[in-house]
Structure 1
Amino acid sequence: MPVPRLVPGDRVRFVSPASPPTREAVARGAEVVSGWGLQVELGEHVFDRTGYTAGPDAVRLADLDAALRDPGVRAVFATTGGKGAYRIAAHLDVAAARAHPKPVVGFSDITFVHLALLRAGVPGPVHGPFVNWTDEYYDADCTEALRRSLMEPEPVVVRSDPGEYTAQLSTGGWATGVLVGGHLDSVSRAVGWGLPSLAGAILLVEDHHGTGLGQIDRCFAQLAHTGLLGQLHGVALGTFGEFETTTASGTTLADVLRHWLAPLGVPVLGGLPVGHGLNPASVPLGTSAMLDVPAGTLTVDPAVR
């Protein structure tokens, strides 16, 4: 179910559920979002710092819950990802989120928040840019795509780029289902406590860096051995960062992905500009989607109405 779209004059809140942002980049993010006619507010603890997290768990959770509970806050933007959202995602005030549904934008470690909301039946997650904003990372088209995903109730069409690494994994066919997923490592670590149902879903996965190809292998093994991969209707592959240039005794990322995905016998569409790369697409999660592999498109129902 879509949530209300944003309109000029709406209040929105920046929060830091994971790692700390920089003041300069958040100021630029506020400038961009304010340019859409929205009123930007900062969570009380946005710039707190405790080790690699933006303050202790309690204050990060308090900021996020305060934004979810306030009916006047019409969207929530994560400043950045990194580390820490996994420590608070299981404790979100999902009852308040159900009562006042709104877009919650972010990716990477924020995948834990998105999964927790979807598990609780809360609409509105958007896999999209952080407001720890740099113009070198997000260009005008990327910025406009984020704005449209929040302010215009139109389907989001993400086109496969044949030049992207994961395009070589594309198969054939068509698939429909609810789009679920995000950062692969986060999805796999949420098994058993934080995942929504994957039955009949299209799984969106992307990743960036880690401990080598074995990390990707372990993630898919976790999903396969629990029977979750076998429930899917399709798979959408985004960018995989440094994994795309990593080899292990001749084994490549493509080899690892084929090992787990080919036996599923479901449509797979790669080459999607979703994830940690430059100018990532903004993609609603928890809404109906269609994979059209021959056309090279992932079409997702809007997050907003």
Structure 2
Amino acid sequence: MAIKPERLKKGDTVAVIAPASPPNKGNLKRGLDFLEDLGLNYKLGKSLYEVYGYLAGNDHARLEDLHEMFLDDEVKAIICAGGGYGTARIASAIDYKLMENHPKIFWGYSDITFLHTAIRQQTGLVTFHGPMLASDIGKEGAHPLSKETFRQLFQPTELQYDQDFSQIEELVKGSAEGPLVGGNLSLLSSSMGTPFEIDTKGKILLIEEINEEPRAVDQMLNQLHMAGKLQETSGIIVGDFHDCVPERELSLSLEEVIEHYVKLAGRPTLKGFKMGHCSPHIGVPFGTIAKMDTVEKRLIVESGIN
């Protein structure tokens, strides 16, 4: 059964951590200003500004930040500064019982996908796939809708995503219902064969990606297909595939690759959602019940908070 975290209120303290790569400092500063605009206080993880190659500090430091912020009762939510690479390196060392005993809002996307999957499947905690402080909100010209999506953390709100947000296209006809799961395709693929392998049975699966050629997307979708992960879903939501274009003359298009696999899976599929490495980026809870209908071209997602 899904565990929903408690909602935020003005004056609450949230934690800002970097479980993967070091964030852009200028963007992060603007992201922290945004938290203040929301009426929130914040605590910074000790390793937030550390640089260890492509990691924001070594594995122990990043893991310690995650544990400390879940354990800290003053902290009501944990917001990731950015993605990059590194969350899978700490997944097997996480104290999931600690998280289960101290449930709170956990928000991020991209490389954070591995933590979304691990936390949800180990604890039942609903987590949030949404724009991050340095990667999105702190960028110059950040879209107002990306900022507005944080409002769902203050008031239980059912998300109704239809063509008012973006042009939605039916790839496989039908309707579906189930917990919403997924995230970045590379991270979902990399979970295969691990203790944190993505469970898609009866779920609505969201996929998104960035900077991968169609042949790489093909490889990852083929892996999920051969493992039965696409066929086991109740439905598939195709988010943004940013800059996933061929770098060679002989190539299938991204559209051809995606359509091939979703039609093989035969599950209701919609594409065109502004979820992922895009602007605007609409945040959604993972683990709550979602409903999709390809005739109405609509996705409805239950609130992720109490």
TM-score band, normalised by shorter chain: over 0.9
Correspondence list, 1:139-288, <5 A: 139-146=143-150, 148-160=151-163, 167-168=168-169, 170-193=171-194, 194-210=196-212, 212-244=213-245, 249-288=250-289
Maintained 8 Å contact 2:20/2:83 = yes
Q: Give the Cα–Cα distance (whole angstroms) in 1 for the partners of residues 182 and 163 of structure 2.
A: 18
- AA matched with 1:74: K
Q: CA deviation at 1:157?
A: 2.1
- Partner deviation per Cα, 1:205-240 (whole Å, 9 max, x = no partner): 000113x21211111111111222221100000010
Report the RMSD for the aligned CA atoms in angstroms: 1.8
Correspondence list, 1:68-87, <5 A: 68-87=70-89
- Partner deviation per Cα, 1:131-154 (whole Å, 9 max, x = no partner): 1133535322221122x2211101
Q: Give the Cα–Cα distance (whole angstroms) in 2 for the partners of residues 298 and 112 of structure 1.
A: 23
Q: Give the Cα–Cα distance (whole angstroms) in 2 for the partners of residues 250 and 48 of structure 1.
A: 40
Q: Give the Cα–Cα distance (whole angstroms) in 2 for the partners of residues 58 and 236 of structure 1.
A: 35
- Give unmatched runs, 5+ long, in structure 2: none
Q: CA deviation at 1:250?
A: 4.8
- Partner deviation per Cα, 1:68-112 (whole Å, 9 max, x = no partner): 122221110111101111111222221111111111111100101
- AA matched with 2:263: A
- For this pair of structures, how many residues does the alignment match? 301
Structure-2 residue corresponding to 1:21: 23
Q: CA deviation at 1:170?
A: 2.9
Return the TM-score normalized by structure 1.
0.93
Correspondence list, 1:78-97, <5 A: 78-97=80-99
- AA matched with 2:145: D
Maintained 8 Å contact 2:110/2:276 = yes
- Partner deviation per Cα, 1:99-134 (whole Å, 9 max, x = no partner): 111111111001011111011133231111111133
Question: Given the superposition, is the C-alpha separation of residues 268 and 162 from structure 1 closer, same or farther in structure 2, using an over 3 Å criterion?
Answer: farther
Q: Give the Cα–Cα distance (whole angstroms) in 2 for the partners of residues 97 and 277 of structure 1.
A: 30
- Give unmatched runs, 5+ long, in structure 1: none
